Chain A
Amino acid sequence: MAKITFDGIEVEVPDGTTILNAARQIGGSIVPPAMCYYTPLKGSGGKCRACLVRVAAGSAKDPRPMPKLVASCVTPVQDGMVVENTTNPQVLDVRKGIVEMLLINHPLDCPVCDQAGECDLQNFAFEHGVSTTRYQEERRTFEKIDIGPLIQLHMTRCILCYRCVYTANQITDNRVHGVLGRGDAAEIGTYIENIIDNDFSGNVIDVCPVGALTDKTFRFKSRVWFTKPVNAHRDCPKCSGNVVLWYKGNDVLRTTARKDQYGEVKEWICNECRFEKKETSDWTIEGPAHIDRSSVISANHYELPVLNQSVVADLPASTQRDLEKNPPLKLGS
């Protein structure tokens, strides 16, 4: 076990844990943002540089500070390490710069983007960015690329986090897409205009932190904050069948894998569950899904009346009146 001090808070974690995951054990707003790191994907992390932190002391044995900021998602902890994140002005300054860099070639088309409301870059920019940019040059744009009937690739929005590439490499037999070109001309693409075609291809949609890869069966049907997430499962021969159904009224608008509080998929799901099972009768409903990070969705306090009845009494009178007017969804109907 290694004991580290993260922003003045001491935490003990198993050897080999990364600084980011140590911070996640503390939780809350001191956890560094991560755009490219994704726990289930081996080799991910270290690319977006959003999670840079300052190591003020390397370890108890060698207390010298690390000369440069380090990517917390790929740097393992050492016993006695002292890490500064929100307490270090240099780190916060760099983070501002990273937001500015990422937004150079990511259009602010949130009003028409399907990822709005659950976009990691939106959250990152809100928490660490500034309201203006100093970039005046022409921005990178791409022609739309058709990569099949299920997934829409909007390369213009891509921030090249490589998550979808790792997903394609690691959870399916057929690697059909990757990164082409280099520098700011790099792009995600299928090698010779091709479709992404395998049973688990839909997972690239879930791992995309922005709106570069979206679900063609859901596109433009609703804003995410007008839908209600519900945990459900089915007996699936290909995957675990544990999913979240996103309801609008009684209609299932889309199906996604279940994610943890950091937006990381817990279990990959197959395309049949994701794209084909859109009837409530296809599923066994478990109850409302817990959403605690994507602020726009959780702002509705949708889950509270169902999950914890005692809390309902503490709700403001106005919310209680709203609830009486619009009672919680009857599940399974």
Chain B
Amino acid sequence: MGRKLLTEHINVEGIDTLEVYRKHGGYRSVEKALKTMTPDEVVEEVKKSGLRGRGGAGFPTGMKWSFLAKPEGVPRYLVCNADESEPGTFKDRQLMSKLPHLLIEGMITSSYALGANTSYIYIRGELLYVLRILEKAIAEAYAAGFLGKNILGSGYDLDLHVHPGGGAYICGEETALLESLEGKRGNPRNKPPFPAVQGLYARPTVVNNVESIAAVPVIVNEGGDEYAKIGVGRSTGTKLISACGHLNKPGIYEIELGLPVEEFIYSDEYCGGIWKGRDLKAVVAGGSSVPILPKELILKTAAGENRLMTYESLSDGGFVTGTMLGSGGFIAMDETTCIVRNTWNFSRFYHHESCGQCSPCREGTGWMEKVLHRLEHGHGHMEDIDLLVSVAKQIEGNTICPLGEAAAWPVAAAVRHFRHEFEWHVTHAKEAAQPGAVYRAGTVLV
């Protein structure tokens, strides 16, 4: 049974209220940090913990914090990125709705460490009910003296605001999020300058994911070294995984990093195997933007070792045989899944969500989607398959923000690992256009 650092009390009745949350040890980290530690000591603990950003990129959080410019007399900001909206990723939503005070506690401790006196939670607009929960919890925290002026008599002031976004996926990109928070169109900014130097209102800003911030209270309470003992290598601590697709028990699981993928899929403690007793075909391990891997590569690395749920193990072999842990959006596909249709579906999403600022992403995402639509509906040609790879290559790495890569990787990886399925869609055009065709084609494809 793996340890649960964030979700231990998630099912306790009334844990979303301050009273119950405090009974279960809530806000201890605020008291400890504000009364016994300097901001730099908090940063040091986070560095020691080895915590890596849980939003997808996996950048070390403590290092990100230490990059924050600290000019005197200039406000600094902490912004929590709660704009989670990648297909397959739905862990932050649950964390915020069930444990709002954990996030608020993390925000207070983190803001103190960064010297920020105003912080924001930028939440996806569609999550209106979560926004209400957070607002209620923030009001409770203000009333109890955890927010506002002179918190717990420490002389530290903090105001915390929740800001709903307009429901654009691109606003989850940190600079687009800042633009949106400033009241502008949510277009990503050119980098440099990075937010740590010029972020919100051109001031030094740290943007962190909900889960990263929620881990900070645990790190402060237990100590960075203790936290770092969990996990494998540079993948420390626990991670929330939102598992969905053809699984017996889809849901949100907190795992210790280092758990074998096979155990995660098949053990009863986690996903309980593939539904209806079918065979696993492929997995997208970290949200729809990361490369898809076929069964044999998601369970074992190219070298034949067990694939572990860690940043390093999942990316073992680069994109040729590896993928990414990303945001932890674990999508399992059984043997009946049509990879072409699935790729087209992902591609539709990225085409729809591209902001349109830079030409490769604006034009390329639409181009890929249209070619995939053709292939899926039985109007494709063999050369379309190479065309897809070529267009994906033209987008990857050449855009302002990572949405270009997010759109290109799934397509390139699907062709790389399931080329035969794309070819089948060309050679069996009429059949391919019928729903369920791939399954009926049987072992030819799977």
| Contact between chains at A186 and B356 (CB < 8 Å) | yes
Interface string of B350-364 (1 = CB under 8 A from A): 011111111110111
| Contact between chains at A184 and B398 (CB < 8 Å) | no
B366 at the interface (CB under 8 A from A): yes
Stretch at the interface among A101-109, A210-218, A275-283, A285-293: A101-109
A117 at the interface (CB under 8 A from B): no
Q: How far is the CA of A47 from the CA of B190 in the complex (A)?
A: 9
Q: How far is the CA of A62 from the CA of B378 in the complex (A)?
A: 52
Contact of B358 among A47, A68, A94, A137 (CB under 8 A): A47
A48 at the interface (CB under 8 A from B): yes
Query: Beyond A182-B355, A186-B356, is A45–B190 a contact (Cβ under 8 Å)?
Result: yes
Distance (Å) between the CB of A164 and the closest chain B CB? 15
A13 at the interface (CB under 8 A from B): no
Distance (Å) between the CB of A193 and the closest chain B CB? 20
Q: Which residues of B contact A76 (CB under 8 A)?
A: 192
B327-365: which residues lie under 8 A (CB-CB) from chain A?
A: 351-360, 362-365
Distance (Å) between the CB of A159 and the closest chain B CB? 7
| Contact between chains at B394 and A101 (CB < 8 Å) | yes
| Contact between chains at A159 and B359 (CB < 8 Å) | yes
Q: Which residues of A contact B365 (CB under 8 A)?
A: 183-184
Nearest-neighbor residue (CB-CB) of A137 within chain B: B370
| Contact between chains at A182 and B356 (CB < 8 Å) | yes
Distance (Å) between the CB of B248 and the closest chain A CB? 37
B399 at the interface (CB under 8 A from A): yes
| Contact between chains at A101 and B397 (CB < 8 Å) | no
Q: Which residues of A contact B10 (CB under 8 A)?
A: none
Distance (Å) between the CB of A83 and the closest chain B CB? 16
Query: Beyond A47-B357, A101-B359, is A71–B394 a contact (Cβ under 8 Å)?
Result: no
Distance (Å) between the CB of A222 and the closest chain B CB? 31
Contact of A98 among B360, B366, B367, B387 (CB under 8 A): B360
B160 at the interface (CB under 8 A from A): no
Q: How far is the CA of A163 from the CA of B33 in the complex (A)?
A: 49
Distance (Å) between the CB of A255 and the closest chain B CB? 31
Q: How far is the CA of A185 from the CA of B371 in the complex (A)?
A: 18
B264-314: which residues lie under 8 A (CB-CB) from chain A?
A: none
B377-436: which residues lie under 8 A (CB-CB) from chain A?
A: 387, 390, 394, 397-400
Q: How far is the CA of A50 from the CA of B394 in the complex (A)?
A: 12
B440 at the interface (CB under 8 A from A): no
Between A45, A97, A98, A182, the greatest number of chain B beta carbons within 10 A of the residue's beta carbon is seen for: A182
| Contact between chains at B353 and A183 (CB < 8 Å) | yes
Interface string of A62-88 (1 = CB under 8 A from B): 000000110100111000000000000
Q: Which residues of A contact B370 (CB under 8 A)?
A: 137
Distance (Å) between the CB of A187 and the closest chain B CB? 9
Q: Which residues of B contact A160 (CB under 8 A)?
A: 356-357, 359, 362
A142 at the interface (CB under 8 A from B): no
Query: Beyond A47-B358, A97-B360, A98-B360, is A184–B366 a contact (Cβ under 8 Å)?
Result: yes
Q: How far is the CA of A45 from the CA of B191 in the complex (A)?
A: 12
Q: How far is the CA of A40 from the CA of B427 in the complex (A)?
A: 55
A111 at the interface (CB under 8 A from B): no
Between B185, B363, B394, B397, the greatest number of chain A beta carbons within 10 A of the residue's beta carbon is seen for: B363
Q: Which residues of B contact A71 (CB under 8 A)?
A: 190, 400
A49 at the interface (CB under 8 A from B): yes
A237 at the interface (CB under 8 A from B): no
Distance (Å) between the CB of A23 and the closest chain B CB? 18
Q: Which residues of A contact B366 (CB under 8 A)?
A: 183-184
Chain B interface residue bracket vs A: 20 to 34
Interface string of B202-226 (1 = CB under 8 A from A): 0000000000000000000000000
How many CB-defined contacts (below 8 Å) exist between A and B?
91
Q: Which residues of A contact B362 (CB under 8 A)?
A: 101, 160, 183-184, 186
Distance (Å) between the CB of A162 and the closest chain B CB? 8
| Contact between chains at B367 and A179 (CB < 8 Å) | no
Contact of A52 among B353, B363, B398 (CB under 8 A): B398
| Contact between chains at B394 and A97 (CB < 8 Å) | yes
B102 at the interface (CB under 8 A from A): no
A109-125: which residues lie under 8 A (CB-CB) from chain B?
A: none
| Contact between chains at A49 and B354 (CB < 8 Å) | no
Nearest-neighbor residue (CB-CB) of B353 within chain A: A183
Distance (Å) between the CB of A76 and the closest chain B CB? 7
Contact of B359 among A47, A74, A134, A178 (CB under 8 A): A47
Q: How far is the CA of A178 from the CA of B184 in the complex (A)?
A: 12
Q: How far is the CA of A183 from the CA of B187 in the complex (A)?
A: 11
Q: How far is the CA of A236 from the CA of B263 in the complex (A)?
A: 78
Interface string of A184-201 (1 = CB under 8 A from B): 111000000000000000
Contact of B367 among A46, A68, A135 (CB under 8 A): A135
Contact of B356 among A45, A74, A94, A185 (CB under 8 A): A185
B168 at the interface (CB under 8 A from A): yes
| Contact between chains at A101 and B400 (CB < 8 Å) | no
Query: Beyond A46-B400, A104-B367, is A75–B192 a contact (Cβ under 8 Å)?
Result: yes
Q: How far is the CA of A71 from the CA of B189 in the complex (A)?
A: 12
A28 at the interface (CB under 8 A from B): no
| Contact between chains at B356 and A49 (CB < 8 Å) | no
| Contact between chains at A184 and B358 (CB < 8 Å) | no
Query: Beyond A160-B356, A182-B168, A184-B366, is A74–B190 a contact (Cβ under 8 Å)?
Result: yes
A316 at the interface (CB under 8 A from B): no
A21-55: which residues lie under 8 A (CB-CB) from chain B?
A: 45-50, 52
Interface string of A134-148 (1 = CB under 8 A from B): 110100000000000
| Contact between chains at B190 and A104 (CB < 8 Å) | no
A327 at the interface (CB under 8 A from B): no
Contact of B363 among A74, A94, A101 (CB under 8 A): A101
Nearest-neighbor residue (CB-CB) of A101 within chain B: B363
Q: How far is the CA of A184 from the CA of B397 in the complex (A)?
A: 19
| Contact between chains at B168 and A101 (CB < 8 Å) | no
Q: How far is the CA of A179 from the CA of B182 in the complex (A)?
A: 17
Q: How far is the CA of A178 from the CA of B185 in the complex (A)?
A: 10
Contact of A69 among B353, B359, B398 (CB under 8 A): B398
Contact of A49 among B168, B358, B367, B387 (CB under 8 A): B358
Query: Beyond A49-B399, A71-B190, is A102–B356 a contact (Cβ under 8 Å)?
Result: no
Q: List 15 A-B contacts (CB under 8 A).
A: A45-B190, A46-B400, A49-B360, A68-B397, A76-B192, A101-B359, A101-B364, A101-B367, A137-B367, A159-B359, A182-B353, A182-B355, A183-B366, A184-B365, A186-B355
Q: Name 4 extra pairs, CB < 8 A, besides A69-B398, A183-B351.
A: A50-B359, A52-B398, A100-B394, A186-B362
